[in-house]
Amino acid sequence: MIFVGLFTPLHGTATIGEAIAELASDDRIAFTMVGTGQDYERCRELAKPNPG
């Protein structure tokens, strides 16, 4: 999955971060997120359980 954006609340990056964390055990899925913005740090924190 690739996300390119400004990490604004309307982009749903917090939801994407949660999904990344939930998929931590599925190594068939790779994530690439490009950009920075308002929800950048929150998204990273939510996705943290996924080391990939």
10 pLDDT more than 90: yes
Whole-angstrom distance, CA of residue 16 vs CA of residue 29: 13
Identify the pLDDT of residue 52.
82
Measured CA to CA, the distance from residue 10 to residue 30 in angstroms comes to 23
Report residue 46 CA to chain centroid gap: 7
Q: pTM for this structure?
A: 0.88
Q: Which residues pair with 3 in a beta bridge?
A: 33
Task: For residue 34, give the nearest of 9, 10, 3 by alpha carbon.
Answer: 3
- pLDDT tens-digit readout, 13-43: 999 999 999 999 999 999 999 999 999 999 9
Residue 21 and residue 51 in contact, taking contact as beta carbons nearer than 8 Å: no
